[in-house]
Amino acid sequence: MKKFRACVAGMGFVGKAHIEALRRLGNVEVVALCNTSDAQAKADALCVPKGYSDFREMLDKEKPDVVHVCTPNDSHYEISMYAMGRGCSVICEKPLTRTLDEAKRLADYAKTHRIMNAVNFNCRYYPQILQAKAMVRAGELGEIRTMHGGYLQDWLFLDTDYSWRLEPEVSGESRVFADIGSHWIDLAETVSGLKATEVLADFSTFHKTRKKPLKPIASFSGMALRPEDYEERDITTEDFCTVLFRFENGARGSCTLSQIFAGRKNQIQLSLSGSKCSLFWSSDDSNELWIGHRETFNEKAAKDPSILAPQARFAIDYPGGHVEGYPDTFKHGFRAMYAAIESGQTEGSDFATFEDGLRKMAICEAVVQSAHTDRWVAIEE
Ligand SMILES: NC(=O)c1ccc[n+]([C@@H]2O[C@H](COP(=O)([O-])OP(=O)(O)OC[C@H]3O[C@@H](n4cnc5c(N)ncnc54)[C@H](O)[C@@H]3O)[C@@H](O)[C@H]2O)c1
């Protein structure tokens, strides 16, 4: 097995999760990280040999095999393009970019120059999601009729909660859909194997102004600041969003997304109903998949490698009854991505590529247009 040298750009919440998952793989050495502030201190704290404040310097000096892009959305394009220009494979966080145009350019460059690329839609690697996908592919659900669910969080519940995600110039024109709705529609399309064709979206911003801290804070840190530490800022992106979907086979779908739903920390749920049976999965109980029947008892499939479909087993490293969750999805996803980088083949892989990231950006663009114009909008192919 090839040993890889990786660099990680952005050392907030998710950058650390990338490093932890990479170390669990065993064949990837994280040789350096970069972060705009306290880079060497962050590197020292994580036992990474070198910390850089500038990604260009890091990539030029370290010449890694792979770079992980874990910065806020506005720098995904610049860092990914710079890395690809040096022949470096890129694993980028979702959403792929801040704008649809940037996503098009990244996907195009990667394709033309045959650079291995991936987007970390990690939810694809929950074993029960892979089981659901295998059941759909095997025809066990029959024809898919409806898909619904949503993604609820509460970390922006208070008007004192603040993040770069609230600033469209950093995060993009949509907040809730781009940030968490992209995960939901990625799951719905991946599990069902169906593409959404049209959307009708409704946005609402309940906190029209928020108190922006005068010093930087990491996402989800829950850090308490005093009133004199804030400035008022107008908010233009959505706190809450509902979307209706039409899918290519005539199936219908809907999702409800919120970052201000008190008590729901990070709950993504997906229901699929077919002509034979239905499925329900929730991240709150991610090791179970509910299977609903009309003419006999309902079932619950447990995360047990001895009984799940082979397509789900590869994403399980522990026996049944031993819970695997969010951090494991990163490990299993990265294992598949590095295997593809080593073989040069993405065929048969379950992970998202820049093409998939671009598709999610096209859906996001249609959702924003629909919310702004109050009408159904077709998704650009
Ligand atoms: N797949 C997932 O489950 C998941 C979860 C969380 C975040 N994300 C994505 O990961 C990205 C980062 O989110 P986060 O929650 O970790 O944010 P964060 O605010 O916690 O951390 C971002 C870090 O990047 C640094 N940074 C900013 N610009 C930089 C630059 N140009 N070069 C180097 N460092 C820079 C900041 O100083 C900060 O430390 C976002 O795109 C987000 O959507 C994905």
- Tell me the per-residue pLDDT of 298-330, one tens digit each, with 9 for 90 and over: 999 999 999 999 999 999 999 999 999 999 999
Averaged pLDDT for residues 232-244? 97
Among residues 69, 95, 122, which one ends one of the domains?
Answer: 122
- Nearest alpha carbon, ligand 1 atom 3: 122
| Same-domain pairing of 62 and 157 | no
Ligand 1 centroid distance, CA of 114 (Å): 26
For 19, 91, 292, the CA distances from 336, given in Å and listed in that order, are 16, 12, 31
Judge whether residue 286 has pLDDT over 70.
yes
| Same-domain pairing of 224 and 132 | yes
182 inside domain: yes
- Nearest alpha carbon, ligand 1 atom 9: 93
Averaged pLDDT for residues 167-196? 98
| Same-domain pairing of 146 and 117 | no
Read off the pLDDT of residues 3-62 as tens digits, 9 standing for 90 and up. 999 999 999 999 999 999 999 999 999 999 999 999 999 999 999 999 999 999 999 999
Rounded-to-integer distance, Cα 205 and Cα 235, Å: 8
Asked if residues 242 and 152 have their Cβ atoms less than 8 Å apart, the reply is no
pLDDT of residue 223: 62
Question: What size, in residues, is the chain?
Answer: 381
Full residue range of the structural domain in which residue 190 is found: 123-334+353-373
| Same-domain pairing of 166 and 293 | yes
Buried b (16+ CB within 10 A) or exposed e, 11-34: bbebbbbbbebbebbeebebbbbb
At CA 217, angle to CA 175 and CA 125, rounded to 5?
Answer: 55
Among residues 122, 137, 157, which one ends one of the domains?
Answer: 122
Averaged pLDDT for residues 144-154? 98
How is residue 52 written in tokens?
């850089």
Our measurement of the distance from residue 331's CA atom to the centroid of its chain's CA atoms, rounded to an integer in Å, reads 14
| Ligand 1 pocket by Cβ (under 6 Å) | 9-15, 34-37, 55, 70-73, 75, 93-94, 120, 122, 164, 179, 218-219
| Same-domain pairing of 102 and 157 | no
| Same-domain pairing of 33 and 128 | no
Nearest ligand 1 atom to alpha carbon 15? 16
Closest CA to 202 of 239, 229, 232: 239
Instruction: Name residue, tokens 């108190």.
Output: 211
pLDDT of residue 219: 61
Ligand 1 centroid distance, CA of 254 (Å): 28
Rounded-to-integer distance, Cα 127 and Cα 325, Å: 9
pLDDT of residue 224: 65
pLDDT of residue 217: 65
| Same-domain pairing of 132 and 114 | no
Asked if residues 302 and 287 have their Cβ atoms less than 8 Å apart, the reply is yes
| Same-domain pairing of 184 and 43 | no
| Same-domain pairing of 112 and 131 | no
CATH number at 367 reads 3.30.360.10
Ligand 1 centroid distance, CA of 30 (Å): 17
Ligand 1 centroid distance, CA of 7 (Å): 14
Instruction: Count the Cβ atoms, other than its own, within 10 Å of residue 85.
Output: 12
Among residues 81, 102, 122, which one ends one of the domains?
Answer: 122
Positive or negative torsion for Cα 222, 227, 232, 238: positive
CATH number at 31 reads 3.40.50.720
Best probe residue, ligand 1, of 7, 8, 11, 14 (max atoms within 8 Å of C-beta): 14
| Same-domain pairing of 220 and 291 | yes
Rounded-to-integer distance, Cα 169 and Cα 236, Å: 11
| Same-domain pairing of 88 and 139 | no
pLDDT of residue 179: 98
Judge whether residue 346 has pLDDT over 90.
no
Judge whether residue 215 has pLDDT over 80.
no
- Nearest alpha carbon, ligand 1 atom 33: 35
Full DSSP string of 110-139: HHHTT--EEE--GGGG-HHHHHHHHHHHTT
Q: In the structure, what pLDDT confidence band is assigned to residue 218 with cuts at 50, 70 and 90?
A: low
How is residue 105 written in tokens?
């350019």
Ligand 1 centroid distance, CA of 288 (Å): 30
339 inside domain: no
Domain count, the chain: 2
Read off the pLDDT of residues 76-126 as tens digits, 9 standing for 90 and up. 999 999 999 999 999 999 999 999 999 999 999 999 999 999 999 999 999
Averaged pLDDT for residues 191-209? 98
| Same-domain pairing of 362 and 256 | yes
Arithmetic mean of pLDDT over the chain: 96
Q: In the structure, what pLDDT confidence band is assigned to residue 213 with cuts at 50, 70 and 90?
A: confident
